[in-house]
Structure 1
Amino acid sequence: MKKVLIVTYYWAPAGGPGVQRWLKFVKYLRDFGIEPIIYTPKNPTYPMVDAHIADDLPQDLTLLRTKIWEPYGLASFFSKEKTKKISAGIIPTKKFSWVDKCLLWVRGNLFIPDARVLWVRPSVKYLSDYVTTQGIDTIITTAPPHSIHLIGLHLKEKYPTLRWIADFRDPWTNIGYHSQLRLTERSAQKHLALERKVLQSADTIIVTSPSTQREFTAKTSKPIVLITNGYDDDTFGEEVPLSPYFMLSHVGSLLSERNPETLWQVLGAMAAESPAFRQDLRICLAGKVSEEVFVTIEKYGLSSSLEYKGYLSHTDALALQRSSQLLLLLEINHPKTEGIIPGKLFEYMAAQRPILALGYSQWDVREIIAQTHTGITLLVTDAPAIKQALTHYYTLYKANQLHTQPTSLGAYHRKALTQKLSEVILERGKG
């Protein structure tokens, strides 16, 4: 077995999509001759936890943990709830209080690239001893938080022969919320400089979307490999009956800027026009949801149709997907979201329920959904097209014919994706 050190902030028992990618890679890496060694914080601040998220992992994994100090504890002195939301990426777009502004300014300008940066130096010290004594010749850093890549950068500078693979689950300076951090010009330039240094120093870069691959190709000559997220066998689980209602479900965080007001407006109008549609309609939201979303749903008279589940375990979220009539994939209408392919997309596809994806016109999601015949992708502000799609799906629902016939899903199975990763890990002499 080839030993590989994986440096990640998110690990079990963290809940949410950020942890799924590497939990699943680690689940299968041994099948391809690779022994994963995990390095992660001992006392992290996770916005959500899932006690069963690692149930299918090998029990004898080597797991290294060291303490981390994060500033969110001090910030919560001013507002515990606001701090928790900002640490989870929920940034309000309306009613900015002075506390919001202060927390965002501190987050963006005093902790670069992010609030986990204070873990970098002690991690480099600890891992320097480990890689030399254990004969580790390959490390992988996965981000966000992007400070994790600084650990790889400093280890690479210290040991030039160490092979470093940088995995970007999301972009860095081009990520949607980056422009909301109230950065000074100096801070913005520092982010760009750090991003450039990471991209030019890593031996190989892994990205999750074609758009990010194109973006980074313009910034570095290093090899850039596309490995999307995917679905696993647990996606199928036990058989779950379909909801008897026309249930539209969204699983995952629904942030303020991602609030699909046009969708709520269209649904509200359809419910007002047809008592039967209103009686059949259910809107199910699972995960962290911005207060602005609830306000907008109420604004369009849909509160009686809303079912809010809160945070669900991964197992329960998968069951909800399979029981829904229609699955919602929602994104901001902005060029910076072009390369954001949510991990839940692949679980949605495997659930074999139609997907209504609403986002940016050039969203990378469009091609994947079209190729797999798993739904439709529309501009999130295109009210006529959204109404036409909903009317079509509702008609099929009433005729008991609402289903999908996915094709080419196998390429997105977690084991197939791990095989692709293993080929990157075992490749030598490039980059």
Structure 2
Amino acid sequence: MKRVLMVAFHFPPIKGSSGIQRTLRFVRYLPEFGWEPIVLTVDPRAYLGTGNDQLRDIPPGTTVIRTRAWDAARHFAIGKCYPQVLARPDRWMSWWLSAVPAGLAMIRKYRPHALWSTYPLATAHRIGHTLQRLSGVPWVADFRDPMAQDGYPEDPSVWRSFERIERTGIARAAFSTFTTPSALRDYQLRYPARATHMSLLENGYDEETFEGTHSGSPLDADRVTLLHSGIVYPSERDPTALFAALKELKHTDKSTFDRLRIRFRAPVHKGLIQQLATDNHVAEAIEILPPIAYRDALSEMVRADGLLILQAANCNAQVPAKLYEYLRARRPILALTDPAGDTARIARNAGIEAIAPLDDADAIGDLLRRFVGDRHCGTLPNETAIAGASRRERTRELALLLERAALASS
């Protein structure tokens, strides 16, 4: 069995990040395809929050090396201020200092046939690049989403550090992978000389984590519950128009409004949601709840009357990883997103027609009325799309890339 050294910041016991699932499921399934994963990650003290519920999902016997990393905003701040040089490319740039020596020691000991690093956390790609340069082991850089974009990151110095890591990563990696067709196309246009070294590797869901979940009783027997599970970003998932739609619904169709409840599970930006609910006088239709264990969150999904996706037009080349779990939950889905973006494309390909622009309150209001009236109208994913989105299938695709990278360097 070949070995791959996997560099990943998001790994159990980190809490509150859907990004953890991509690495965790690759680690779980790669041995089925002839690859033994060894993991280089951070000491849990680097995380903002931890939970033990997903530690059991790490396969027994998996080699996991954790090295020190400091969060500049927490560990180096005086008051709320800290040197910005310690946050380029990100607040955990100190991880590079401990991860590179540890990674080289792992390469000497385990002699991996390939390296793999994953964003989001630009420092992970910096580590992957350094290890590749010093060892010569072929490297697969998992970009997932675009890094240096127009207007993001906003800080010019951080943007330059992102662009530098991106450019060197594309040039040095045997293969670079992206989670959406638009991201892949954009990078192939940006770096045409390396276009044949780029591949699509979408996110997905894990069937095993859904074992024991069943639709059962609804979350609320008296009201129609629409669930948004996960972070609500002020820009990328701005719910302002959704609340405006609820306000209008309350004035024009009170009976429908009274039947509807929107639950935000672990949205992080709780204050934003509370303020919007207050300003629009719709607080009685809103529920904000804290994080729960991952499998409990999946159980909540399969009991919801409907599942809500928020994705702004400035993220058209990105797809929330949560969407694939929504598909597997086999519950009605409402997608508030730009119809021209990749999130809408995946929804349409899955047979979901309940799509409205995130910034269009009128369209959202119409969608809510139709949903409350007939929850199955254009909202249910088809079985073909569900079957094609499993993480076991995604892992098979990664294993093929690792094989190609290893063969090319031999």
User: Could you state the TM-score of these two structures normalised by the residue count of structure 2?
Assistant: 0.90
CA shift, 1:54, in A, is 3.3
Quick check: 372-381 or 5-14, which moved more? 372-381
Contact 1:229–1:346 at 8 Å: present in 2 too? yes
Displacement of 1:211: 1.4
The question of whether the paired residues in 1 share the 8 Å contact of 2:326 and 2:333 is answered with yes
Which residue number corresponds to residue 140 of structure 2? 165
Deviations 1:76-110 (A, max 9, x none): 5424xxxxxxxxxxxxxxxxxxxxxx66xx55x54
Give the direction of change, closer, same or farther, for the CA distance of 1:331–1:193 in structure 2 (3 Å limit). Answer: same
Task: Kindly state the Cα deviation for residue 165 of structure 1 after the two structures are TM-superposed.
Answer: 0.5
Change (3 A) 1:190 1:42: closer
Question: What's the offset of the Cα at 1:67?
Answer: 1.8
Residue 268 (1) aligns with residue 247 (2):
yes
Structure 2: distance between partners of 1:173 and 1:68: 23
Q: Report the CA distance between 1:271 and its aligned residue.
A: 2.1
State the percentage of identical aligned residues: 25
Q: Does 1:227 align with 2:201?
A: yes
Q: Does 1:343 align with 2:321?
A: yes
Could you give the per-residue CA deviations for residues 352-386 of structure 1, whole angstroms, max 9, x where no partner exists?
12221122342101111111114533211222322
Q: Answer yes or no: is 1:141 the counterpart of 2:114.
A: no
Distance in 1, matches of 2:183 and 2:278, equals: 36
Asked whether 1:324 is paired with 2:310, we answer no
240, 254, 259: which one aligns with 2:232? 254
Shift of 1:130: 2.2
Q: CA deviation at 1:407?
A: 3.1
User: Is 1:118 aligned to residue 72 of structure 2?
Assistant: no
Contact 2:229-2:265 at 8 Å conserved across structures: yes
Q: 2:269 aligns with which of 289, 295, 303?
A: 289
Which residue of 2 is the match for residue 78 of structure 1?
Answer: 79
The SS at the match of 1:17 is: coil
Confirm or deny: 8 A CA contact 1:23 1:54 kept in the other structure: no
In 2, Cα distance between the equivalents of 1:73 and 1:215? 35
Cα pair 1:236 1:351 within 8 Å, conserved: no
Structure 2 Cα separation of the partners of residues 238 and 189 of structure 1: 45
Matched, 1:183 2:156: yes
What aligned pairs does 1:373-384 form with structure 2 within 5 A after superposition?
373-384=351-362
Q: Is the 8 A contact 2:263 2:286 kept in 1?
A: yes
After TM superposition, give the deviation of residue 127 of structure 1 in Å: 1.7
Shift of 1:46: 2.0
CA deviation vs aligned residue, 1:266-293 (integer Å, no higher than 9, x gap): 1122123333223311110011124122
C-alpha contact (below 8 Å) 1:66/1:123 kept by paired residues: yes
Tell me how far 1:2 sits from its aligned partner. Answer: 0.8
Structure-2 separation of matches of 1:43 and 1:405? 37
Task: Calculate the TM-score normalised by the size of structure 1.
Answer: 0.86
One-letter amino acid of the counterpart of residue 60, structure 2:
Q
- Kept in 2, the 8 Å contact 1:251–1:317? The answer is yes
> Aligned residue for 1:152?
128
Q: Look up the equivalent residue of 2:2 and give its one-letter code.
A: K
The Cα of 1:113 is off from its aligned counterpart by 1.1
Give 1:139 deviation, angstroms: 0.7
Separation in structure 2 between the aligned mates of residue 25 and residue 65 of structure 1, nearest angstrom: 18
CA 1:376 to 1:76, structure 2 compared with 1: closer, same or farther past 3 Å? farther
* 1:164–1:44 distance in 2 versus 1, CA, 3 Å: farther
1:46-85 to 2 correspondences below 5 Å: 46-74=47-75, 77-79=78-80
Q: Which amino acid counterpart does residue 130 of structure 1 have in structure 2?
A: M
In 2: Cα distance, 1:176 partner to 1:189 partner? 12
- Structure 1 residue 405: deviation in Å? 4.9
Aligned residues of 1:230 and 1:414 also touching (Cα < 8 A) = yes
Report the alpha carbon displacement of residue 321 of structure 1 after superposing the two structures with TM.
1.2
**8 A Cα contact 2:333 2:380, kept in partner:** no
Deviations 1:103-162 (A, max 9, x none): 6xx55x5422112222213322222232123222211011121111111111222123x1
Counterpart-to-counterpart distance in 2, 1:347 and 1:27:
17
Which residue number corresponds to residue 10 of structure 1?
10
Matched, 1:312 2:292: yes
- Kindly indicate whether residue 106 of structure 2 is the aligned counterpart of residue 130 of structure 1: yes
Q: Which residue of 2 aligns with 1:362?
A: 340
- Paired residue type of 2:255: A
Map Cα deviations across residues 192-227 of structure 1 (whole Å, 9 max, x no partner).
223211111111111111111112112333311111
1:415 aligns with 2:386: no
> Contact 1:256 / 1:290 at 8 angstroms: preserved in 2?
no
- CA distance, structure 2, for counterparts of residue 74 and residue 415 of structure 1: 38
Distance across 2 between alignment mates of 1:294 and 1:175: 30
1:174 aligned residue: 149
**CA positional deviation for 1:402:** 8.9
Distance 1:142 1:175, change over 3 A: farther
Q: Distance in 1 between matches of 2:211 and 2:310?
A: 23
Distance 1:68 1:275, change over 3 A: same
Aligned to 1:89: none
Stretches of structure 2 lacking an aligned partner (at least 5 in a row) = none
Change in CA separation of 1:263 and 1:217 when aligned onto 2, cut-off 3 Å = same
Query: Over residues 338-357 of structure 1, what are the superposed CA-to-partner deviations in whole Å (9 max), with x where a residue is unaligned?
Result: 11111100011111122211
Distance across 2 between alignment mates of 1:346 and 1:141: 22
